[in-house]
Amino acid sequence: MLSSVLAAIGFSLLGIRYPIILGAIVAYFTFVPMLGPPLVFIILALYYLFLGETLHFLILIFGTVVAMIIPENVIRPHLAMKSSQIPPDNYIAFVYIPPYLL
């Protein structure tokens, strides 16, 4: 959910039309492991690249890292380990490895 709110705020600041709808799409794709939300950013970034708006393209690529990768791979595991008292190696083994086994 944090990723979708950050995405909607970023879309709004960039002047991209329909930021709340795009934020909702990001929230929907959050349920797709490992690929979901960055996919929305990458498609939107490629759209702006094809329009010739390189600045929007670069900001969206940077936004992918800030709004998607950092919260999902840094903040969420830290909070989950802190609240559930699971050792870090067990958390990594049970959360990050299974999607690669599919």
What is the mean predicted confidence (pLDDT) over 75-83? 76
List the domain boundaries for the chain.
Answer: 2-101
Nearest to 61 by CA among 80, 48, 50, 51: 48
For residue 39, which phi and psi values (nearest 5 degrees)? Answer: -60, -40
What is the pTM assigned to this prediction? 0.66
34-74 residue pLDDT tens? 677 788 888 999 999 999 999 999 998 888 877 777 777 77
